[in-house]
Structure 1
Amino acid sequence: MAPMGIRLSPLGVAVFCLLGVGVFYHLYAGVISSRIATFRQKKTVDLRELLALSIEASVQGGREVKRIREDDSLQEKTKGKTKEGASEKLTLGDLNSHRKMFYLFKNTYPFLQVNSEEHDSSDGEATIWTPNIPVDVLNKVPASQMVPSESVTVWIDPLDATQEYTENLPKYVTTMVCVAVDGEPVIGVIHKPFTGHTAWGFVGQGANVAPRESYNANNPKVIVSRSHSGKVKAFVQQAFGNSTEIIPAGGAGYKVLALLDPSDDEKPDVYIHVTYIKKWDICAGNAILKALGGHMTTLKGEEIDYSGSEGNPGGLLASVGMDHKKLVSRLPPWDQNK
């Protein structure tokens, strides 16, 4: 007798096939979807769109900063020490602003490298930016500017001048975004949450701010950090003389805009920092100054690379409307390890 075979009805064959497809999907769906997502990723990104997104992110973050300060719900705590041993503050304003700004970028452009001063373990905001280019951006940047996405690094400071924020000194507080391409600062946005003023610059394209009409190169007024004013005083006086006017202020973003603001009573000419500083503190200001023909370098006159580590150990000299190389030549020898 011939052996009996298993015969499936057409319905059985269909069920068997469906089961096979189900098993295959269960095992490989994640891999397939990941490959499809990678394939769909944009290989280039429009810098004009990134400028508009940077403005929107800074404003949204600033709303959180202002709201939490006005509600007096800071939930202040210490997140550690700076390299100089000072206490580093963290508030709900820092965290909420970070969530708004960071996830607006990551949900819109998940393939971009985005570095923020803060980190949190939340699932993040669901916000995705709807491309909307402000009129002033369109006027200055009439065409798209495409660059490879892998060349872009975004630096976010969700709340600059946290110490002053906790002291209720809102004039020093800013939110900032910088876009660097191949390590060079190209787009900078500095937003003042408590006045609503937003300054931006796009290197080679323009800016919505401008330098003052004149600067004093011979006897410059120098703006410095409130928290390091003692250490920088001797350095500045050695460079420009004992009678040099030194202006202590909070926030790197504020100091850069103070170089530009014609209504500022103190009208500093130069910004100097002599200790280690994080790149999210300075990248936006660097881009804005560069867009205006100014400079921000280390104290030795070296350009700062914004593609690598998060810190700049080389100190800082920022100027606009002046001979920057001549300023560098007047600075005394400086050792970043001291």
Structure 2
Amino acid sequence: MSEALDPTPYDALLLLSFGGPEGPDDVVPFLENVTRGRGIPKERLKEVGQHYFLFGGVSPINDQNRTLLDALRKDFAEHGLDLPVYWGNRNWSPYLTDTLRELVQDGRRRVLVLATSAYASYSGCRQYREDLAAALATLREEGLELPRVDKLRHYFNHPGFVRPVIDGVLKSLADLPEEVREGAHLAFTTHSIPTAAADTSGRVEDHGDGGAYVRQHLDVARLVADAVREETGADHPWQLVYQSRSGAPHIPWLEPDICDHLEERHAAGAPAVVMVPIGFVSDHMEVLYDLDTEATAKAAELGLPVRREGGGAGPAGAPLGHRRRRPAVRRRGPRARPGARRRRERARGDAVRPGRARPEPRPVPGGLLPGPHPEARGRGRRQSVRLARGPPPAPRSTVTDPAPQDRLKAELLAVALEAASRAGELLRDGRPADLGVAATKSSAVDVVTEMDIASEKLITDFFADRRPGDGVLGEEGASSEGTSGVQWIIDPIDGTVNYLYGRPDWAVSIAARKDGETLVGVVHAPVRGETFRAVLGQGAYVGDRPARVRPAPPFEQALIGTGFGYIAERRAHQAEVVRQLLPRVRDIRRAGSAAIDLCDVAAGRLDAYYERGLNPWDFAAGDLVAREAGALTGGRPGEPLSGELAVAGPPGLFEQLQTLLDDLGAWHD
């Protein structure tokens, strides 16, 4: 909620939506907008775009928004509410920034935002807020006076959203043959997302598995199922299922998929199924293709009668499909009413400040319709959140009859490699198109993203499953002592700023320590397509190739890597050190990832490296890789590598660089 109740009445409503192509030539440019920053080749986008090309390259969402605009304007006029309605999209025309500019030029000073996404999640809420903040920042740079912008709360449980679904289910049930109607199952569908992303949509401790995203959908499903039972007298079995997943197969996403669910219901003897797409405000492409095309084809293959709420018939009647019907727009969501007081009460979301997206608020608990007691949420067999795990990669081992310590190292290496691979796939394939900052740490430029948090959770959950007695220390707050004596040191994204900007130099860094020694180190750089690994006493590798440092060159021919802190005073001193060092060496490189810099020393791509201000998770894995590749590492002369100073390089060069850095004061601010 906003910091203070602003008595200024709203003078505009902004309908904010996703956008979609309106012709074949729009499809690939639209998908480029959606996936910007992820480096997806155009040929791959053309493959993905086939869903749109099947429908003439047109997504129905824009026409549905036009219909919704007309309905809102008519509703406001009928209620005597003089509130202009504007429309902006995140990924296609009319673009959000252009619409906000129009609002400002029209003199609008306080704007209420209705997003066409009803649930809590990064892509369904926070990304909208980040785009609003970015658009306002653009207008500020143009010298425009910015309006205050308030986003309406998640409206998943509002009667205006839920009642049309109830009516649609009743209509679909009535359309089924009488002999299968009473026993029909309800399959409530929504967009699948990675389980790690679902868990970050709201505290699992508060909402259960799947976070607020799953809990809110379960709330809606219960509201609809309860209302249908009350109005028909029939208790239809129901389940929340998912659709439209993408990404690598071994990354855990919410399940079961709707097609798998139809097979399961058919095998269990269900006489019919009504598919209820509660995750979608209107019948856009995910409904028309994934349900009306793919799922309906699966039902036809099974001979299972289906209906789609808001749609047509399945195999037991006429074919269900987009050609049989004009896509309907359900006016789900809060209806604006006259009066400044009521408008203020409706603005349940936080104010959006230009240039800064605030953390997503906790969803409003409970419902505006009667529902189950909050303590009952997430219980029972109807909730289905399963992890799709792929087979673990086979560990490499060069020891034929290892001693207990070597067996432990081999096991730790296998676990670290698998965890890093899974996290890397999540980060590479699950990166939101417009990733933004979720929080800051030591300064405004020391950032954390939602994917840092999701990656660390995936890794720590994996360790808890595979080695439950081990301790963990993670950059984003994971910390436990454990009972085995092994501690995992985790940097879920080393090089977060690079990741935020779509640059390739970032990595997942995982090290295992026992009795004060680092036994295993893995640095996985997905975009570079490289995995560095090292086992204490067994050497270092880049993939399957041994890693070796370069022989020490003359000091003046050395290529040196470094990094900078996030606090202005420290940076100023670090710049002075670089100013004095640069004339004495070949050149200096700054990649933005300490783990990768240390591994580049190990692979001979840098002659040496130094940096002040590192944390254990920044260097634990890379330090072992560098040492096992033949580098010396340390801090000030006679001191171990630490946050005070980290230096790495081959014998002969290491000592010269270490001494010079000590003389230049690189170890202090």
User: How big is the shift at 1:279?
Assistant: 0.6
SS in 1 for 2:423: helix
Q: Which residue of 2 aligns with 1:248?
A: 590
8 A contact 2:602–2:631 mirrored in 1: no
User: How big is the shift at 1:88?
Assistant: 2.3
User: How big is the shift at 1:191?
Assistant: 0.3
Match status 1:291 vs 2:628:
yes
Q: Which residue of 2 aligns with 1:174?
A: 507
Q: Which residue of 1 aligns with 2:422?
A: 60
Decide whether aligned partners of structure 1 residues 224 and 230 sit closer, same or farther in structure 2, where only a CA change above 3 A counts.
farther
Output the CA distance in 2 between the equivalents of 1:270 and 1:213.
9
User: How big is the shift at 1:115?
Assistant: 0.7
User: How big is the shift at 1:64?
Assistant: 1.0
- What pairs with 1:102-181 in structure 2 (closer than 5 Å)? 102-119=460-477, 150-169=484-503, 171-181=504-514
User: How big is the shift at 1:290?
Assistant: 1.6
Q: Deviations over 1:5-44 (max 9, x none)?
A: xxxxxxxxxxxxxxxxxxxxxxxxxxxxxxxxxxxxxx98
Among 273, 286, 296, which residue is 2:611 paired with? Answer: 273
1:247 alignment partner AA:
R
Q: Which residue of 1 aligns with 2:555?
A: 218
Decide whether aligned partners of structure 1 residues 301 and 237 sit closer, same or farther in structure 2, where only a CA change above 3 A counts.
farther
User: How big is the shift at 1:59?
Assistant: 0.7
User: How big is the shift at 1:195?
Assistant: 3.2
User: How big is the shift at 1:252?
Assistant: 0.8
1:74 alignment partner AA:
L
Among 416, 435, 441, which residue is 1:81 paired with? Answer: 441
Q: Which residue of 1 aligns with 2:648?
A: 318
8 A contact 1:54–1:177 mirrored in 2: yes
Among 63, 84, 94, which residue is 2:452 paired with? Answer: 94
- What pairs with 1:18-29 in structure 2 (closer than 5 Å)? none
Unaligned runs of 5+ in 2: 1-403
Output the CA distance in 1 between the equivalents of 2:581 and 2:448.
35
8 A contact 1:178–1:284 mirrored in 2: yes
Q: Which residue of 1 aligns with 2:274?
A: none
Q: Which residue of 2 aligns with 1:332?
A: 662
Decide whether aligned partners of structure 1 residues 329 and 336 sit closer, same or farther in structure 2, where only a CA change above 3 A counts.
closer
8 A contact 2:560–2:606 mirrored in 1: yes
CA RMSD of aligned residues (A): 2.9
Output the CA distance in 2 between the equivalents of 1:106 and 1:293.
33
Output the CA distance in 2 between the equivalents of 1:225 and 1:81.
17
User: How big is the shift at 1:179?
Assistant: 1.2
Output the CA distance in 2 between the equivalents of 1:323 and 1:75.
40
SS in 2 for 1:331: helix
Output the CA distance in 2 between the equivalents of 1:184 and 1:90.
29
8 A contact 1:217–1:322 mirrored in 2: no
Q: Deviations over 1:241-291 (max 9, x none)?
A: 4565121221112212222445xxxx43111113x2111010001111121
Decide whether aligned partners of structure 1 residues 187 and 270 sit closer, same or farther in structure 2, where only a CA change above 3 A counts.
same
Match status 1:186 vs 2:519:
yes
Output the CA distance in 2 between the equivalents of 1:54 and 1:327.
32
Output the CA distance in 1 between the equivalents of 2:636 and 2:646.
5
Output the CA distance in 1 between the equivalents of 2:654 and 2:498.
30
Q: Which residue of 2 aligns with 1:259?
A: 601
| Residues 241-250 or 182-191, more deviating | 241-250
User: How big is the shift at 1:180?
Assistant: 1.8
Decide whether aligned partners of structure 1 residues 193 and 315 sit closer, same or farther in structure 2, where only a CA change above 3 A counts.
same
8 A contact 1:289–1:320 mirrored in 2: no
Among 218, 224, 232, which residue is 2:574 paired with? Answer: 232
Unaligned runs of 5+ in 1: 1-42, 121-147, 305-311
1:53 alignment partner AA:
V
SS in 2 for 1:317: strand
Q: Could you tell me the TM-score, scaled by structure 2's length?
A: 0.35
8 A contact 1:270–1:318 mirrored in 2: yes
| Residues 107-116 or 325-334, more deviating | 325-334
1:329 alignment partner AA:
T
Q: Which residue of 2 aligns with 1:130?
A: none
User: How big is the shift at 1:200?
Assistant: 0.2
2:514 alignment partner AA:
V
User: How big is the shift at 1:236?
Assistant: 4.5
Output the CA distance in 2 between the equivalents of 1:195 and 1:239.
29
User: How big is the shift at 1:157?
Assistant: 0.7
SS in 2 for 1:328: helix
SS in 1 for 2:590: strand
Decide whether aligned partners of structure 1 residues 215 and 72 sit closer, same or farther in structure 2, where only a CA change above 3 A counts.
farther
SS in 2 for 1:303: coil
User: How big is the shift at 1:86?
Assistant: 4.5
Decide whether aligned partners of structure 1 residues 332 and 226 sit closer, same or farther in structure 2, where only a CA change above 3 A counts.
closer
8 A contact 2:601–2:626 mirrored in 1: no
1:328 alignment partner AA:
Q
Q: Percent identity?
A: 23
Decide whether aligned partners of structure 1 residues 335 and 74 sit closer, same or farther in structure 2, where only a CA change above 3 A counts.
closer
8 A contact 2:474–2:492 mirrored in 1: yes
SS in 2 for 1:327: helix
Match status 1:303 vs 2:640:
yes
1:324 alignment partner AA:
F
Output the CA distance in 2 between the equivalents of 1:195 and 1:248.
16
Decide whether aligned partners of structure 1 residues 236 and 183 sit closer, same or farther in structure 2, where only a CA change above 3 A counts.
farther
8 A contact 1:226–1:249 mirrored in 2: no
2:476 alignment partner AA:
E
Decide whether aligned partners of structure 1 residues 319 and 151 sit closer, same or farther in structure 2, where only a CA change above 3 A counts.
farther
Specify which structure has the higher proportion of strand: 1
